[in-house]
Amino acid sequence: MLYREALNRAIDETMAADGTVVVLGEDVGLYGGSYRVTEGLVAKYGEERLIDTPIAELSIVGNAVGMAMAGLRPVAEIMTANFSLLAFDQIINHMAKYRYMSAGKIALPMVVRFPQGVSRQLAAQHSESYEQMLSAVPGLIVLAAGDVNYAYHALKYAIMSDDPVVFIEHELLYNKKGEVDFDADIDPFKARIVKEGSDITIVSYLKMVDDVMEAVPQVEKELGKTCEVVDLCSLNPVDYKTLEASLKKTGRIVVVEEDHKTGGYGAQITSWAAEEMFYSLDAPPIRIAGEDVPIPYNRTLELAAIPTPEKIAKRIAEWGKTNGL
Amino acid sequence: MNKLLAEEIYYNMVLGRTFELAAKEHYMAGDISGFLHLDIGQEGFSVAAMKAFEKGDVFTTYREHVMAIARGMDPRAVMAELFGKAGGISRGRGGSMHLFDPSHFFYGGDAIVGGQIPNAVGCAYARKFQGSEDGVMVIFGDGASNGGAFFESLNIASAQKLPLLFVCENNGYAIGTKITRVAPFEKQAKKAEPYMMTKEVDGMDAVAVYEAVREAQELIQAGHGPVFLEAMTCRYEGHSMSDPGTYRSKEEMGICKSKDAIERMESYLKTMYGLTDTQLQGVQRRAQATVDDAAAFAAAAAEPELSELFEDVFCKERVNASF
Ligand SMILES: Cc1ncc(C[n+]2csc(CCOP(=O)(O)OP(=O)(O)O)c2C)c(N)n1
Ligand SMILES: [Mg+2]
């Protein structure tokens, strides 16, 4: 099953099971979604539950907040992270805060979904990632689907959750293939051990997990050691327990993120390692991240702006060698 | 419209379409990537609007290659930008959606729908402040007319009586969404009526567009405050190269293409100025040669240096001083 099909299935099943679930966004209905995530759903559930909105992101999220206040379970789709910026007021000032400000009287069972990240030559206004900003907002759950099985289970959870969820997808994952274990009991807040290893913990999320997996054989060959690869899955809250167990075993941690390094999300993980795990560390934690530049159109420059499997492998091997591996 | 101008507009329309067809081909061949939004079908509007609003600043969207060239940008620099080369107008960093050329007062590529409209309002304020008479034109789609940036801009521009020409290029669709499915009416000028003078023009008629934009610019220059022009157009291709465009019927497309602006301009030139088919073919050959040259230039142009990745994030002085 493809990643986008898994997402489609998750929405489909929750819509079938719960008549209060509605989907709203640009081209989500008749068009089937710009990444085909909502394909076929309008035929099943009608235009009242698959709401094609105008290009008005502030209203897409703002309306979803109102719908959720009134007892619906809206799933708002924003075409890409960059356009979510137009809705940041609604996401941060409204969606994230109503429960707290109302002393728990208002629940917002809603999801805002969007893809983010560098795709292929979409240039500066279509390539950004905003998990760092959104994870810094108390009151929002931020999930990042880097895997097909997780995407299915986590989105189902998110839609039925009574807390507002920002559900982040990646532009380049929609056609990723994977198995979905429909009967599995997946905890969406639990980090996923993608590969076990004993010497280096590599933490990542979204598409970078795949890039890390591509880099790992090279790292292991060069260092003669094994890597444990962790897909964080939930960016807020963070599954520190899983990270702690892994780090206690390996003593070394690398965080790989696609976004610009300064102020990036990975800093939360390395700072946690420094603060909480200092005495378990055998090497300084490092982050491998994108450059602090807007994403350029030219393909060579674009690839130079973000981590690639080659760059990840090279950096980890170098760091390993200078730190006793 | 005088003969010289009519010929100039016709040439640019043909050049525009030839350019877009070449861009499409090069996209399919892998020379161009990312989002490529073709202006095929809408060249009459794009060219005539640029030629009419000769002086003043122009803000527009990601569907801007034809406008950029009609505005005076070198087709070589535009094609090279689409190819992502250092010889491109944005040195390969912008791509198809971001063609900026302040030397032509052209800010041609906002890819955030509606995002350029408040910028145009600010620019109009600045021009008025600076004592310039030329005014500013902002072009956006029917889809953009549903966003907050649009409504806020109508209000501010009219409250401040700014020399701003709003031009809604209404092709009836925002990607796959027909305007009447998400707005209460087809014509977006209605939204501007409480704020300013509005006018509609057939966007498939270059001569009419030219006259309407001229007239509107004269009004804003005369201190009337903002004016709203709506041009009804039709795009022949999908929204971008990644859109198969299956939401429009053959019949709808047939009607739309029957109003072809280039053919219309050809009959105008024939009936008004007696141009012959041979003469028109001469223009087409000239356009083809220009586009072939632009594509050859783009193909041969150098890639940007890797160090350019870090250029122009900030001003040069700051970078040299390392902050
Ligand atoms: C704020 C924002 N939301 C969504 C998009 C995705 N998008 C790009 S173009 C487009 C349709 C725009 O339609 P319209 O304004 O009519 O312009 P047209 O493409 O028809 O010229 C959409 C939804 C975007 N670029 N920016
Ligand atoms: Mg449109």
Scanning the structure block, which residue is given the tokens 């760092």?
Answer: A132
CA atoms of B35 and B33, how far apart (whole Å): 7
CA atoms of B306 and A176, how far apart (whole Å): 30
| pLDDT tens figures, B234-259 | 999 999 999 988 999 999 999 999 99
Residue B318: which pLDDT band, with cuts at 50, 70 and 90?
confident
Across the interface, do A298 and B113 touch by the CB < 8 Å criterion? no
Provide the pLDDT for residue B317.
79
Enter the DSSP assignment of B109: E
- Ligand 2 center–CA B80 separation, angstroms: 26
Across chain B, how many H-helices and E-strands are there?
Answer: 13, 9
**Pair B207, B49: CB distance under 8 Å:** no
Across the interface, do B33 and A121 touch by the CB < 8 Å criterion? yes
**Pair B167, B137: CB distance under 8 Å:** yes
Provide the pLDDT for residue B312.
94
Scanning the structure block, which residue is given the tokens 């040439």?
Answer: B11
Q: Which residue of A has its CA nearest to B306?
A: A301
B190-218 burial: b if 16+ Cβ within 10 Å, else e: bbbeebbbbebbbbbbbbbbbebbbebbe
**Pair B52, B213: CB distance under 8 Å:** yes
CB-nearest partner of B113 from A55, A59, A305? A55
Query: Averaged over B165-185, what is the pLDDT?
Result: 97
Provide the pLDDT for residue B108.
85
- Return the structure tokens found at B39: 């202006």
User: DSSP assignment of A24-46, as one string?
Assistant: EETT-STT--TTSTTTTHHHHH-
**Pair B108, B39: CB distance under 8 Å:** no
Closest to B225 in 3D by CA, of B289, B284, B294, B155: B155
Across the interface, do B313 and A86 touch by the CB < 8 Å criterion? no
Scanning the structure block, which residue is given the tokens 């992101």?
Answer: A57
- In 10 A of CB B289, how many CB atoms? 11
Domains A3-170 and A192-322 share a fold: yes
CA atoms of A303 and A149, how far apart (whole Å): 28
**Pair B62, B143: CB distance under 8 Å:** no
CA atoms of B115 and B121, how far apart (whole Å): 11
**Pair B10, B266: CB distance under 8 Å:** yes
Torsion, Cα of B121, B125, B126, B131 (10° steps): 140
Domain ranges of chain A: 3-170, 192-322
Provide the pLDDT for residue B70.
98
Beta carbon of A189 within 6 Å of any ligand 1 atom = no
Computed over its alpha carbons, how large is the radius of gyration of chain A?
20
CB pairs under 8 A between A and B: 111
Contacts of residue A172, Cβ cutoff 8 Å, sequence gap at least 6: A117, A118, A119, A120, A207
On the CB side of B21, CA atoms within 13 Å amount to: 12
| Most B-contacting residue of A53, A89, A301 (CB-CB within 10 A), to test interface | A301
Provide the pLDDT for residue B316.
82
- What is this model's ipTM? 0.95
A77-99 burial: b if 16+ Cβ within 10 Å, else e: bbbbbbbbbbbbebbbebbbbbb
CA atoms of B78 and A166, how far apart (whole Å): 38
Pick the CATH number of A3-170 from 3.20.20.70, 3.40.50.2300, 1.10.10.10, 3.40.50.970: 3.40.50.970
- Return the structure tokens found at A284: 């300084």
Beta carbon of A86 within 6 Å of any ligand 1 atom = yes
Read off the amino acid at residue B34.
G
Q: Which residues pair with B99 in a beta bridge?
A: B108
Query: Averaged over A242-265, what is the pLDDT?
Result: 98
**CATH architecture, domain A192-322:** 3-Layer(aba) Sandwich (3.40)
Q: Of all protein residues, whose CA lies closest to atom 25 belonging to ligand 1?
A: B112
Q: Which fold has domain B3-308?
A: Rossmann fold (3.40.50)
Across the interface, do B313 and A31 touch by the CB < 8 Å criterion? no
Q: Which of A55, A84, A114 to mutate to test the pocket of ligand 1 (most atoms within 8 A of CB)?
A: A55
Across the interface, do A55 and B147 touch by the CB < 8 Å criterion? yes
Query: Averaged over A126-143, what is the pLDDT?
Result: 98
CB-nearest partner of A296 from B85, B114, B309? B309
Distance from CA of B63 to the nearest CA of A (A): 14
Q: What is the pTM of this model?
A: 0.97
Domain ranges of chain B: 3-308
Contacts of residue B33, Cβ cutoff 8 Å, sequence gap at least 6: A120, A121, A299, B27, B84, B95
**Pair A50, A42: CB distance under 8 Å:** yes
Residue B322 has pLDDT above 70, yes or no: no
Among residues of chain B, what percentage have pLDDT more than 90?
95
| pLDDT tens figures, B44-88 | 999 999 999 999 999 999 999 999 999 999 999 999 999 999 999
Query: Averaged over A220-248, what is the pLDDT?
Result: 98
Helix (H) or strand (E) holding B297: helix B277-300
- Return the structure tokens found at A177: 């293939």
- Return the structure tokens found at B322: 């390392």
Backbone conformation region of residue A77, classed left if phi is above 0, alpha if psi is from -120 to 50, else beta: beta
Residues from chain B that touch A120, judged by Cβ atoms under 8 A, are 33-34
Closest to B96 in 3D by CA, of B64, B142, B140: B64
Helix (H) or strand (E) holding B148: helix B148-159
Q: Which spans in chain A are helix H? A: 3-17, 41-45, 57-69, 81-84, 88, 98-101, 131-135, 148-160, 208-223, 240-250, 266-276, 299-305, 309-322
Query: Averaged over B214-230, what is the pLDDT?
Result: 97
Summary mean pLDDT of chain B: 96
| pLDDT tens figures, B92-127 | 999 999 999 999 999 988 999 999 999 999 999 999
Query: Averaged over A215-234, what is the pLDDT?
Result: 98
Residue B280 has pLDDT above 80, yes or no: yes
- Return the structure tokens found at A65: 């907040």
CA atoms of A112 and A49, how far apart (whole Å): 16
Residue B323 has pLDDT above 70, yes or no: no
CA atoms of A197 and A320, how far apart (whole Å): 15
Query: Averaged over B214-225, what is the pLDDT?
Result: 96
Beta carbon of B182 within 6 Å of any ligand 1 atom = no
Closest to B268 in 3D by CA, of B215, B210, B199: B210
Show the beta-strand stretches assigned E in B215-320: 227-232
- Ligand 2 center–CA A299 separation, angstroms: 29
Among residues of chain A, what percentage have pLDDT more than 70?
100
